[in-house]
């Protein structure tokens, strides 16, 4: 299932860059962004809740959704895919992990330096001044202690810019790598979906891991059709066998 040539390419790589998406957390029990929501949230489309317009129109609804998700994530654990990425990092000279996920599960698994492209579910930001503020858990609508404006979750919504430091690091890592992995993402949301094109221009080996090959799969060097919690541990094992 994993070709020898790919193991050689990863084994000989100077710098590997990995982009992860919601699929990597699916096996922990965190629903992906584009699968239908269940229970209380079944009638809401995440694409319509994750916008500044939705927050301005109904902050209570949007906060209820994010508080529900905070609780959900606090009740789950990193899975073998997250843990395999920690091990992969330790086997390579240079490794950059960029995630679109806001759930913090890579860090909880032990990844030391995660580029959080779409922010973090557990931080709060001031809706007026856009700065991160120490949030306080509350059932009320939280307000900025400095200016009194509403606080909002510290994530990146549609139509908003990617935090500059994360964007710069992610694009530099895509430009600099010799193997680029796109794992558990539908590759539909930009600018994250543009990283693979930057890596292509840099002549990196391009790899996707996804049980449902995406629209870009055919344009990549390798599309490994499977769950990240199965394919990544197998890849790490093959890499270690190859080295011994
Ligand atoms: C498994 C699995 C298993 C299942 N193992 N895999 C250029 C062209 C067109 C549009 C744009 C463009 N540039 C910008 C835009 C607009 C917009 C955009 O991209 N829209 C598209 C929908 C077309 N982008 C933006 O607005 C961005 N801002 C920006 O560019 O600012 C400047 C600008 C603004 C306006 C116009 C032009 C420029 C910001 C994007 C922010 C995205 N934010 C969200 C919400 C975060 C907060 C939250 O979580 O609530 O980020 S949206 C959502 O999508 C979330 C995710 O990080 C992101 C990506 O989703 P992901 O991770 O790919 O998840 P899914 O669910 O889509 O896919 C899961 C995959 O896993 C599937 O493929 C499964 O098969 C797979 N899977 N089980 C492995 N076990």
From the CA of 66, how far away is ligand 1's center (Å)?
17
Enumerate long-range contacts of 209-216, CB under 8 Å, 24 or more apart.
209/181, 209/182, 209/183, 209/184, 210/23, 210/182, 210/183, 210/184, 210/185, 211/23, 214/182, 214/185, 214/186, 214/187, 215/187, 216/182, 216/187
pLDDT tens digits along 170-229: 999 999 999 999 999 999 999 999 999 999 999 999 999 999 999 999 999 999 999 999
For the question of residue 118 being annotated catalytic, the response is yes
Q: Which of 83, 101, 190 to mutate to test the pocket of ligand 1 (most atoms within 8 A of CB)?
A: 190
Ligand 1: does its nearest atom lie under 6 Å from the Cβ of 32?
Answer: yes
**pLDDT above 70 for 86:** yes
Alpha carbon distance, N-terminus to C-terminus of the chain = 20
Please compute the mean of the pLDDT values over residues 102-108 and round it to a whole number.
Answer: 98
pLDDT tens digits along 28-40: 999 998 887 777 7
């Amino acid at each position: 299932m994993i070709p020898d040539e790919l193991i050689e390419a990863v084994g000989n790589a100077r710098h590997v860059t990995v982009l992860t998406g919601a699929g990597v957390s699916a096996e922990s029990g965190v629903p992906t962004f584009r699968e239908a929501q269940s229970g209380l949230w079944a009638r809401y489309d995440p694409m319509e809740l994750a916008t500044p317009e939705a927050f301005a129109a109904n902050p209570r609804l949007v906060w209820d959704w994010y508080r529900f998700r905070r609780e959900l994530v606090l009740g789950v654990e990193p899975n073998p895919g997250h843990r395999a990425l920690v091990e992969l990092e330790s086997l390579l000279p240079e490794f950059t992990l960029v995630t679109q996920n806001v759930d913090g599960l890579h860090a909880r698994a032990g990844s030391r330096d995660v580029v959080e492209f779409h922010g973090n579910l557990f931080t709060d930001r001031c809706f007026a001044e856009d700065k991160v503020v120490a949030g306080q858990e509350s059932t009320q609508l939280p307000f900025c202690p400095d200016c009194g404006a509403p606080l909002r979750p510290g994530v990146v919504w549609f139509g908003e810019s990617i935090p500059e430091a994360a964007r710069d690091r992610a694009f530099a890592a895509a430009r600099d790598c010799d193997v680029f992995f796109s794992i558990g993402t539908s590759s539909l949301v930009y600018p994250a979906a543009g990283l693979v094109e930057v890596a292509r221009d840099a002549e990196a080996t391009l790899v996707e891991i996804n049980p449902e090959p995406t629209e870009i799969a055919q344009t990549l060097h390798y599309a490994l059709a499977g769950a990240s919690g199965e394919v990544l541990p197998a890849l790490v094992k093959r890499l270690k066998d190859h080295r011994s």
